[in-house]
């Protein structure tokens, strides 16, 4: 109990120390706005960043850069949390605007996104890479520009058959078992994000890309 209180005080002091500092890192969760998209596979990034916001005491409730945003302290840095309001395929519009405004290089933009190649609840951390067919990543690569930004891939489950329509799959609602698997990894995603912000991406990959 006492350790929890000390952790809370430490968190408050850390937030005070960085509250006046400029934003130096961006975490963006990818997804689609609108009630019809809630709890769909494509919104795994939104769900993960909502967890991060709650964990680090942020409210993602301001509209800026074609996104809803909030700020908090993570790993000693002032971090902008983003949920683009552009719909998935134009996510780069929001990310590009924010990065240009704060003069943040791609290496300090962390993207959380869904990945159909992995079972629900599997996560992979990458330092950089191609879009791999993901339209949200494709848009971000075009606007930053380049592929040199870290990302955390969040498994949402593979299509049941190769012939199954991709759009129908990613825009379909997740069953409760898959949601439970995803939520069971959100704390790992938050911890990995903090390590990445601290410059410890190799440590994050070693711990969580399994």
Catalytic residues: 42
The residues pairing with 69 across neighbouring beta strands, listed in sequence order, are: 62, 82
Determine contact, residues 182/174, Cβ cutoff 8 Å.
yes
Nearest CA to 113 out of 35, 49, 175, 161 is that of 49
Length of the chain: 210
Q: What one-character DSSP code corresponds to residue 86?
A: S
Neighbours of 53 (CB within 10 A): 21
* Rounded distance between C-alpha atoms, residue 196 and residue 17, angstroms: 20
Q: What is the DSSP letter of 21?
A: S
Nearest to 26 by CA among 64, 37, 43, 14: 64
Q: What angle do CA 186, 197, 133 make, to 5 degrees?
A: 65
Query: Of 205, 206, 150, 155, whose CA–CA distance to 185 is shortest?
Result: 155
């Amino acid at each position: 109990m006492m350790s929890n209180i000390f952790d809370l005080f430490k968190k408050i002091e850390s937030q005070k120390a960085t509250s006046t500092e400029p934003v130096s890192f961006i975490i963006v969760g990818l997804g689609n706005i609108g009630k019809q998209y809630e709890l769909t596979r494509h919104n795994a990034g939104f769900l993960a960043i909502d967890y991060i916001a709650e964990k680090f005491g942020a409210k993602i409730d301001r509209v800026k850069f074609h996104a809803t945003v909030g700020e908090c302290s993570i790993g000693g840095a002032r971090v902008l949390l983003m949920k683009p309001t552009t719909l998935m395929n134009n996510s780069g519009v929001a990310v590009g605007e924010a990065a240009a405004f704060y003069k943040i290089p791609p290496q300090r933009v962390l993207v959380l996104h869904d990945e159909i190649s992995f079972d629900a609840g599997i996560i992979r951390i990458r330092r950089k890479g191609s879009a791999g067919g993901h339209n949200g990543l494709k848009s971000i690569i075009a606007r930053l520009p380049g592929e040199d930004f870290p990302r955390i891939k969040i498994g949402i489950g593979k299509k049941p058959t190769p012939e199954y329509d991709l759009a129908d799959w990613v825009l379909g609602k997740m069953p409760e078992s898959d949601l439970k698997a995803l939520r069971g990894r959100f704390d790992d995603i938050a911890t990995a994000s903090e390590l990445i912000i601290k410059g410890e991406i190799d440590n994050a990959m070693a711990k969580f890309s399994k």
